[in-house]
Amino acid sequence: MHEPLVFALPADAGFAGRLAEAAGAELGQLATHEFPDGESSVRLTTDCSSRDVMIVCTLHRPNGLALPLLFLADAVRRAGASRVSLVAPYLAYMRQDAEFHSGEAVTARSFASFLSRTFDWLVTIDPHLHRIRRLSDVYTIPAVALHASSDIGEWIAAHVESPVVIGPDAESAQWARGIATAARAPWLVANKVRRGDASVEVTVPGLEEFRGFTPVLVDDIISTGRTMMAAAAHLSGRHSRQPVCVAVHGIFAYGAYDGLVAAGAARIVTTNTIPHPSNAIDIVPLLGRALRAGSTLVQIPTHSQ
Ligand code: R5P
């Protein structure tokens, strides 16, 4: 029996090569082409008949990736793959999880429906589960959520002196708790009021008990960075040490990285679910272990994340 086969679109080729090695899989080859009218094509050059195929695609800026991903999955299926899975280190469209304004699309559900029709199972890292409590609430295929908390906690324990882990809002409590446990550090959760994409206010009750500690702001996503910036701004002047900012997924829209530096972040660190110069925590080993167990992972009921 052949080992699993990993394919990736060009942007993820380097990550996929390392992941294939970590997962004991073969890296499949393909060629892509973009036509003058903007349409695209994909051609597999590795035989995948009867192979267990994993397609690696981190879904940052998902709109331009969705169709090439569909074409690749269809090509793999037509070529006779026995199973087609999606490895999405960052899973997009998890935050529009309700109709916030009348008539609005609930894109988390639409996107989940699209991926559920395209793949046999998926694995991702720390999806934004909030009002949608489990991936199985919206995904109809087995969907496994892995957590980077241990890797992040170990990084904090190794690099930050006397850390106190702070989640910048109630939703981040799940990440703050897991990361602090792995870092063997105390943790707090801030109060956040969001008035718009770029208008956020954060306060940190209980901070005064942690003089002499280094604040480590942790969240699942840094997007506009406004949440982290507001938390850093609140700490400035109230705490003697500048905060370290850590996130699983670093999107850094609208100059968020520079904004965080200006807000007083001593260091900004992310995992490599989305490529960025701040990547300091490698999640390839975490994914590799999961994919090695892939045949059993899909037996796990999806509500067990
Ligand atoms: C919100 O619930 C998330 O956990 C993040 O706090 C949020 O998405 C970060 O967004 P931004 O960087 O735009 O403030």
Question: For residues 302 and 188, what is the distance between their CA atoms, to the nearest angstrom?
Answer: 30
Which atom number of ligand 1 is nearest to the Cα of residue 169? 6
How much distance in Å is there from the Cα of 95 to the middle of ligand 1?
9
Measured CA to CA in angstroms, residue 176 lies from 38, 183, 255, 279 at distances of 43, 10, 25, 19
216/233 Cα distance (integer angstroms): 13
Q: Can you list the domains of the chain with their CATH numbers?
A: 5-147+283-293 (3.40.50.2020), 149-281 (3.40.50.2020)
> What pLDDT, on the 0 to 100 scale, is given for residue 297?
54
Is pLDDT of 302 > 70?
no
Q: Which of 148, 160, 145, 180 is nearest to 250 (CA)?
A: 148
CA atoms within 13 A on the CB side of 149: 20
**The tokens of 87 are what?**
């490895």
DSSP 273: T
Q: pTM, whole model, 2 decimals?
A: 0.92
Q: Tell me, in angstroms, the distance from the centre of ligand 1 to residue 164's CA.
A: 20
Banded model confidence at residue 300, pLDDT cuts 50, 70, 90? very low
Q: Is the CB of 270 under 6 A from ligand 1?
A: no
Mutation test residue for ligand 1: of 100, 220, 228, the one with most atoms within 8 Å of CB: 220
Cβ of 97 less than 6 Å from ligand 1: no
Q: Whose CA is nearest to atom 5 of ligand 1?
A: 221
pLDDT digits (tens, 9 = 90+) for 105-153: 999 999 999 999 999 999 999 999 988 999 999 999 999 999 999 999 9
pLDDT of residue 200: 80
**Atom of ligand 1 lying closest to residue 223 CA:** 12
Token couple for 211: 């003089």
Alpha carbon of 187 to ligand 1 centroid (Å): 19
For residue range 31-43, list pLDDT tens digits in order. Answer: 999 999 999 999 9
Ligand 1 centre and the CA of 226: distance in Å?
8
Element (H, E) at 250: strand 244-250
Helices (H), the chain: 13-23, 63-78, 107-118, 149-159, 173-183, 226-235, 256-262, 284-292, 294-297
Could you tell me whether strands 199-203 and 191-196 are parallel, antiparallel, or unpaired per DSSP bridges? antiparallel
Instruction: Kindly report the number of other CB atoms within 10 A of residue 69's CB atom.
Output: 22
Residue 90 CA to ligand 1 centre (angstroms): 14
Ligand 1 within 6 A of CB of 273: no
- Residue whose Cα lies nearest atom 3 of ligand 1: it is 221
Tens of pLDDT, residue by residue over 140-193, are: 999 999 999 999 999 999 999 999 999 998 888 989 999 999 999 999 999 988
